[in-house]
Amino acid sequence: MNYISQELKQFSKQIKYAVDNYKSHGISADSISNIVICGMGGSGIAGRIIKSYFNDKIAVPVEIVNDYSLPRYTGPSTLTIFCSYSGNTEETVAAYQIAREKGCKIIAITGGGQLQAKANADENRVYHVEGGLQPRMALGSPLTYLFLIFFDLLGQYKNADLTKIAEFASNTDDYINQSGEIVNRFAESVSNKYIIICDPFFEGVAIRFAQQINENAKLEAFVNVLPEANHNSIESYYGKQNTNFIFINSRSSNRTNLRFAFLKELLGEAVVAEILVKDTSLNALYHNIYLLDWMSLQIANKVGAVSNQIANINSLKEFLSKQ
């Protein structure tokens, strides 16, 4: 496995760093009517995971923005959270400026750059992440900060739980072995495209996994969410011998469980790997994120991809910098 795996091994350390450095934002839940989380790529995916997790736990709507602008409804009662590992992601920096002009409440999660400079100058809360990694390999701290921010709003104290999760994640050999066993099921089909079928609870995690396959293994990966995908995508599942299917189901809906069972039978001889999920706890969420990250590197290793190189992304950035 290539050296980027050494970065992934820091996941536990990143979780602990956020727990140790978190300070209450002091924003009252009664003062906000909605929450908007802004970020791109490896920095932005934490917001999607958070939205899925808190969907039935928080009373205000949560929106994810992967763009230069904010929804029209945002204003002084909006809590905007900006995530950028480098602090120089142009979409996120542009959205920050709009939030500032609209008088939104602002929190930044970053390792420096323009975002940190602007947030500090405006005396907004900044949660720092350690630098030196590929952004997609630095998820532990931004994700944990976001959880702590949301738990803070709900008046809940989960630091001890997150510290315990960090301890479990330090057992990297277990994750490497388990992820390797799952990927071995694909055998000769490992270089095919991947369709990840999940339920709403795991939508953010599934998108994260697809993005990791894209960037680390340089392969196509797509996410189909049940039950919605049973009303459209299911009609593309004919003769899918060139596709690997991965099921991620929280088992929180009996009707959705039946849909997964039907699909398994429908797909027949297509390669299907089911990710075993114990429950919808915080621990299970982190566990599956980390397991799937290791799976993406196992796939990359099997196909001979150079995971630490992102030539197309860098070419795009160079092109945009000249415009």
In a domain, 281, yes or no: yes
Name the residue range of residue 12's domain: 4-165
Strand, helix or coil for residue 305: coil
In a domain, 99, yes or no: yes
In a domain, 138, yes or no: yes
- Classify burial at 119, counting beta carbons within 10 Å of its beta carbon; exposed 0-12, middle 13-18, buried 19 or more: buried
Q: What is the pLDDT of residue 268?
A: 87
Of the three residues 124, 143, 165, the one that is the final residue of a domain is 165
Looking at the structure, tell me whether residues 184 and 100 fall in a common domain.
Answer: no
Looking at the structure, tell me whether residues 153 and 286 fall in a common domain.
Answer: no
Looking at the structure, tell me whether residues 34 and 112 fall in a common domain.
Answer: yes
Looking at the structure, tell me whether residues 28 and 133 fall in a common domain.
Answer: yes
Residue 135 DSSP code: G
Query: Which contacts of 314-322 are long-range, i.e. CB under 8 A and separated by 24 or more positions?
Result: 320/90
CATH assignment at residue 238: 3.40.50.10490
Peptide bond just before 227 cis, omega within 30 deg: yes
Residues 192, 241: Cα–Cα separation, whole Å: 9
In a domain, 48, yes or no: yes
Angle, CA 39 vertex, CA 35 and CA 40 arms, to 5°: 145
Residues 117, 139: Cα–Cα separation, whole Å: 21
Looking at the structure, tell me whether residues 158 and 188 fall in a common domain.
Answer: no
Looking at the structure, tell me whether residues 276 and 202 fall in a common domain.
Answer: yes
Looking at the structure, tell me whether residues 209 and 119 fall in a common domain.
Answer: no
Rg of the chain over CA atoms, in angstroms?
Answer: 20
Q: Is the dihedral of CA 169, 207, 138, 37 positive or negative?
A: negative
Q: Which residues pair with 81 in a beta bridge?
A: 37, 107
Q: Which residues contact 258 (CB under 8 A, 6 or more apart)?
A: none
In a domain, 312, yes or no: no
Q: What is the pLDDT of residue 1?
A: 60
Looking at the structure, tell me whether residues 47 and 90 fall in a common domain.
Answer: yes
Do the Cβ atoms of 108 and 65 come closer than 8 Å?
Answer: no
In a domain, 310, yes or no: no
Residue with tokens 């750059």: 113
In a domain, 322, yes or no: no
Provide block-wise average pLDDT over 10 residues at a time, the chain (323 residues). 82 98 96 98 95 96 98 98 97 98 99 98 98 94 98 95 96 96 93 97 98 97 98 91 93 97 91 91 97 97 92 93 91
Strand, helix or coil for residue 246: strand
- Classify burial at 134, counting beta carbons within 10 Å of its beta carbon; exposed 0-12, middle 13-18, buried 19 or more: middle
Nearest to 125 by CA among 246, 25, 208: 25
Nearest to 68 by CA among 91, 36, 96: 91
Calculate the CA 209 to chain-centre distance: 8
Of the three residues 165, 181, 210, the one that is the final residue of a domain is 165
Looking at the structure, tell me whether residues 136 and 267 fall in a common domain.
Answer: no
- Domains contained in the chain, number: 2
Residues 277, 236: Cα–Cα separation, whole Å: 26
Of the three residues 142, 165, 188, the one that is the final residue of a domain is 165
Looking at the structure, tell me whether residues 245 and 277 fall in a common domain.
Answer: yes
Looking at the structure, tell me whether residues 73 and 206 fall in a common domain.
Answer: no
In a domain, 133, yes or no: yes
Looking at the structure, tell me whether residues 77 and 129 fall in a common domain.
Answer: yes
Q: Which helix or strand (DSSP H or E) is residue 148 part of?
A: helix 140-153
Q: What is the pLDDT of residue 119?
A: 98
